[in-house]
């Protein structure tokens, strides 16, 4: 822990435990999605909705009760990324999402993870999510639901989510470059 200049990397508190539950919902999603049971995809998407609600709850609790930790700054976006990639891939495999959106989001997430790992281990900095990243995540989740339920406007929602992902990536890259100069 001393390597990280006081980063509270191992603190487990209620928001972090909720985030861990979100990560554990991923295999639940997969089991339901691919189970072949009647309405399995719908039930799996309800799990995704529950994950989204718990994401808001853990963030609210962390901010309201000053329980923001470096571990939470790492686990929270990781939980989002893992869920999004899992759901996107599953929906793509059954033909409900376009490949370009899946590839775009996967590339964005890989760049962000690699940049984040570099900053953690090289600069001892944990980067928090910002407005653009949070907005892109919300829009990606909306695109997932539009695709899963084949709602009108799903192509437009995919385009909006894709554009938001590109904007978030550019913003994070700009922030990364600024931190490199420090």
Q: Is the pLDDT of residue 182 over 70?
A: no
Crossing angle of helices 70-93/14-33, nearest 10°? 10
**pLDDT for res 52:** 93
Long-range pairs for 49-53 at CB < 8 Å and ≥24 separation?
Answer: 49/145, 50/25, 51/22, 51/25, 51/79, 51/83, 52/141
Please say if the pLDDT value at position 33 is more than 50.
yes
In order of their start, the domains of the chain are 2-181 (1.20.120.1760)
| Residues whose CB falls within 8 Å of the CB of residue 92, separated by 6 or more in sequence, listed in order | 98, 99, 102
Check residue 73 and give its pLDDT: 84
């Amino acid at each position: 822990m001393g390597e990280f200049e006081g980063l509270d990397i191992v603190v487990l508190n209620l928001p972090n435990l909720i985030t861990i539950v979100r990560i554990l919902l991923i295999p639940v999603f997969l089991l339901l999605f691919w189970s072949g049971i009647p309405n399995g995809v719908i039930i799996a998407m309800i799990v995704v909705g529950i994950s989204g609600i718990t994401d808001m709850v853990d963030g609210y609790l962390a901010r309201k009760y000053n329980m923001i930790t470096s571990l939470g700054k790492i686990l929270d976006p990781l939980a989002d990324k893992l869920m999004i990639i899992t759901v996107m891939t599953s929906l793509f495999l059954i033909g409900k999402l376009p490949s370009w959106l899946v590839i775009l989001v996967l590339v964005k997430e890989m760049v962000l993870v690699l940049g984040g790992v570099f900053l953690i281990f090289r600069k001892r900095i944990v980067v928090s999510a910002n407005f653009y990243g949070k907005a892109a995540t919300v829009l990606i989740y909306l695109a997932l639901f539009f695709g899963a339920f084949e709602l009108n406007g799903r192509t437009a929602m995919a385009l909006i989510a894709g554009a938001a992902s590109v904007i978030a990536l550019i913003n994070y890259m700009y922030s990364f470059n600024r931190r490199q100069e420090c």
